[in-house]
Structure formats: structure tokens, C-alpha cells
């Protein structure tokens, strides 16, 4: 009887451990909402490639991820609240979406006309104090409930235009679809007329002449969206936007991960976004070469002097935004200090 009791007890413990193991494995699949739309190049790059790579790298008992498209769980501007409150485990979202909460998010999310290449900005995020600055902002706005794994862009966005714009002077009077805030202010100071429209209305607005140009997306994404059917004068490489994406995780979720799982996520993030940056750049270059050869689309490449002139205009807007909050000022100083180190500013 005693042996039977012990056997039953052992079986119960074994069943309990099995259940705990399953629950633990499920808990390690982090639900991450991204900024990309289901089916677009950026989202497929993650789900078809790098999500699977992490899941294979960490083995059956290691951390896994499920990369969800934008708005899959919550609206795109509410992901940080969802992460802080445990509704999402984390996000791979655009930082500039939260600019309405503090101008510091605008500066960290897209320093319009600031950097020449995504690699420079990735370096700022990883080694130049960017990630630490972003963590400081989140410590304030989520009361320490969010851990920043990393940040950085994967592409320099091409500027979509239905008219040929070769210089800053050519920007005057042009109706430009632009996000509100810092981007709109820079275009305004360059002489353009910024108009706020959702991304879903960009194509029809260009087609109907409501706008003549648009802050849109990477060259390859714009092409996939059919933009160059109605806007045949893209500025590539772009002159303006380099949207910074973040990788944040709920702090409690992060702390419960093993050190090996935490390290795996950090290494995966750097590898995944470096790979995405290089792949997007290659796809953009292939597309631009094809467009030049066909002659159907005129690819405009601004001279460096015009790019420097546009950056000079942008610096004034950065400075004004930096005065709007203490964190914004600190974020701008961090960026400008790094840019001076890189020889981009004097």
C-alpha cells in the first residue's frame, strides 16, 4: 500500500512537472507587435526568416518569438502601454508613433534629415548612447516596466514625388504628405506645404493631385505599394526620413528569462536588423538600377551640397523641438554629440 501511495505521488509530481514544463515553454513564446503590415516586405523578412531562425537557434526549451503585424492586438500608438501592462510581451514598433507623449520620442524616432546612412544610426543606437537614452525615456513613461533591447532603422526612406525635385529651392510650394510634428516642421521650413494624411491614403492622394509628394517608406516598399505608377520622380537615396524601430520587452517578462535567453534575444536582434538593413539596401539598389534602365521612372539623387543644405534647415527644427522637454533636449544632445564624432556636424 505504501509503495502504491508513493507511486501515485510520483506520478502526480511527474504530471505536474510536465504541465509546468508546457506552461513554461508557452510563456517563453513572446508575442511582439511590429510596425509592418502583414504581407509587406519587412514583415515577411521577419516572419519567414528571422523569427524562424531564433526559434531554431534557442532549441525546444529556449525563448521563442511570434512577430505580429501592426494593429494585430492594439492600435499602433498604444503598444508601449500594452507592453508595460503585459498585454503584449514586447514590440518591434516605430518610436516616432509616441511623439505625442513627449518630443523626445520624435527626436529618438526620426531625426529628420539627420543621418546619411542607416548604419550610422544603428551605430548610435547600439554603441553611441541611443539605447540608453531610450531606456531613460521609457523609465519615465512606463514607470520602469519596460526593458529596451535595442533600436535602429533598417532603411533610409525614398521620397515619393509626382514632380521632379532636384534642390531645396524646388521644394517651395510643393504639397507634401507628412506626419505631424518634427517632419512636418522641417518640410515647412524648406518651403513645402505639409499635409497630414494616413498612409493608406497616400496613393490615391498622389493620383488625384491632393499632394505632389509624400513621406512614405523604403524604396522597395513604395514600389510594392504601387507608388511609382503615379509618382515617377522618387528621390533615392532619400533626403528626409530614417524611421527608428525599437525592440522592447515587458520588464517582468525580461527578468524571468534565463541569462542565456536574454543574450540570445540581444544577439538575434543585432543580427536580424543588420541583415534586414543590408537586404533592404540591396533590394533598393536593384530597383533603382532597373528603374533607370527602363526610363519609366526618373530616379532623382540630390547632390551632397543640397543634402547638407536641407540638413541645415532641419537643425533649426531639431533645436526647437529639443526645447520642448528636458528629455527631448537630452535626446537631441546625445544625437548631435554622436553626429559630431562621425563628422556629420561641426
What would the pLDDT profile of 163-182 be if each residue is shown by its tens digit? 999 999 999 999 999 877 88
| Dihedral sign computed on CA atoms, order 80, 84, 85, 86 | positive
Q: Is the pTM of this model over 0.85?
A: no
Question: And the C-alpha cell for 323?
Answer: 526645447
Domains of the chain: 23-154+243-283 (3.40.190.170), 159-239+298-341 (3.40.190.170)
Q: What is the average per-residue pLDDT within 253-274?
A: 96
Tell whether the model's pLDDT for residue 282 goes beyond 80.
yes
The answer on pLDDT for 117 being more than 70 is: yes
Quick: pLDDT tens for 15-35: 333 333 333 434 489 999 999
Measured distance CA(172)–CA(188) in Å, rounded: 9
Cβ atoms of 112 and 182 within 8 Å: the answer is yes
Do 141 and 102 touch, CB atoms closer than 8 A?
yes
Q: What does the pLDDT look like over 24-68, one tens digit per residue?
A: 434 489 999 999 888 888 889 999 999 999 999 999 999 999 999
Residue-wise pLDDT tens digits, 284-329: 999 999 999 999 999 999 999 999 999 999 999 999 999 999 999 9
b/e code 297-323 from CB counts within 10 Å (16+ = b): bebbebeeebbebbbebbbebbeebbe
Distance between CA atoms of residues 207 and 205, nearest Å: 5
CB-based burial label for 265 (10 Å; 0-12, 13-18, 19+): buried
Relative to beta strand 90-92, strand 29-34 is: parallel
C-alpha torsion sign, points 40, 41, 42, 48: positive
The grid coordinates listed for 293 are 534602365
| Cα–Cα distance for residue pair 252/187, rounded to 1 Å | 41
Q: pLDDT at residue 218 above 90?
A: no
Residue 14 — very low, low, confident or very high, per pLDDT cuts 50/70/90?
A: very low
Amino acid at each position: 500500500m505504501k509503495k502504491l501511495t508513493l507511486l501515485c505521488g510520483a506520478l502526480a509530481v511527474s504530471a505536474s512537472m510536465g504541465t509546468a514544463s508546457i506552461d513554461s515553454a508557452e510563456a517563453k513564446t513572446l508575442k511582439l507587435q511590429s510596425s509592418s503590415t502583414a504581407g509587406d516586405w519587412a514583415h515577411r523578412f521577419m516572419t519567414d526568416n528571422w523569427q524562424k531562425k531564433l526559434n531554431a537557434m534557442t532549441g525546444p526549451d529556449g525563448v521563442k518569438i511570434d512577430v505580429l503585424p501592426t494593429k494585430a492586438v492594439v492600435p499602433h500608438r498604444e503598444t508601449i502601454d500594452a507592453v508595460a501592462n503585459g498585454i503584449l510581451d514586447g514590440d518591434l514598433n516605430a518610436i516616432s508613433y509616441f511623439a505625442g507623449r513627449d518630443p523626445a520620442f520624435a527626436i529618438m524616432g526620426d531625426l529628420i534629415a539627420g543621418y546619411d546612412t542607416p548604419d550610422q544610426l544603428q551605430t548610435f543606437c547600439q554603441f553611441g548612447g541611443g539605447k540608453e537614452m531610450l531606456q531613460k525615456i521609457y523609465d519615465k513613461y512606463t514607470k520602469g516596466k519596460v526593458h529596451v533591447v535595442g533600436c535602429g532603422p533598417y532603411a533610409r526612406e525614398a521620397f515619393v514625388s509626382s514632380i521632379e525635385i532636384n534642390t531645396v529651392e524646388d521644394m517651395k510650394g510643393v504639397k507634401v504628405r507628412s506626419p505631424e510634428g518634427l517632419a512636418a516642421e522641417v518640410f515647412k521650413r524648406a518651403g513645402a506645404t505639409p499635409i497630414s494624411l494616413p498612409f493608406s491614403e497616400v496613393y490615391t492622394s498622389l493620383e488625384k493631385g491632393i499632394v505632389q509628394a509624400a513621406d512614405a517608406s523604403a524604396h522597395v516598399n513604395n514600389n510594392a505599394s504601387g507608388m511609382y505608377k503615379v509618382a515617377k520622380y522618387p528621390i533615392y537615396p532619400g533626403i528626409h526620413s530614417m524611421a527608428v524601430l525599437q525592440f522592447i520587452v515587458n520588464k517582468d517578462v525580461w527578468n524571468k528569462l534565463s541569462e542565456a535567453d536574454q543574450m540570445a534575444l540581444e544577439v538575434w536582434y543585432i543580427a536580424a536588423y543588420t541583415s534586414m538593413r543590408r537586404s533592404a539596401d540591396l533590394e533598393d539598389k536593384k530597383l533603382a538600377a532597373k528603374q533607370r534602365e527602363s526610363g519609366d521612372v526618373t530616379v532623382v539623387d540630390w547632390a551632397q551640397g543640397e543634402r547638407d543644405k536641407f540638413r541645415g534647415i532641419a537643425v533649426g527644427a531639431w533645436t526647437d523641438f529639443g526645447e520642448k522637454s528636458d528629455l527631448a533636449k537630452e535626446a537631441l544632445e546625445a544625437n548631435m554629440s554622436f553626429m559630431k564624432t562621425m563628422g556629420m556636424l561641426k
